[in-house]
Amino acid sequence: MKFTIDHFNINVLDLEKSLVFYDKALGLKEARRKTAEDGSYIIVYLTDDTGVGKIELTWLKAMDRPYDLGDEEFHIAFIASDYDAAYKLHKEMDCICYENPDMGIYFINDPDGYWLEIIPTR
């Protein structure tokens, strides 16, 4: 039996703000969308140009406060084909929240506070 990761879900307060962030910061584009008939939720799947892995952004109409992210120990990691250019972009966007030069990585925050790890191609 074999399993393949299809997507990772995160809930967002402002879907449009998140869509703009993920496009600008990571080049992720909307692959598909599902909207509840009653308007109670919208689910948007984002992917890179390979279309292999996806991030699922879920917006819930009833949510009126920031999500509790606990100790922020979970994260999604992205390999940057041009680490220096990525670092420059994220510095300009002012979204770098943690740097670890010894490991050669850094983290950015999305609009809801989720940590996204940026790794150079090795």
Catalytic residues: 117
Torsion of CA 86, 91, 95, 100, to 10 degrees: 80
Query: Which tokens go with 78?
Result: 């992205």
Sign of CA dihedral 47, 34, 22, 9: negative
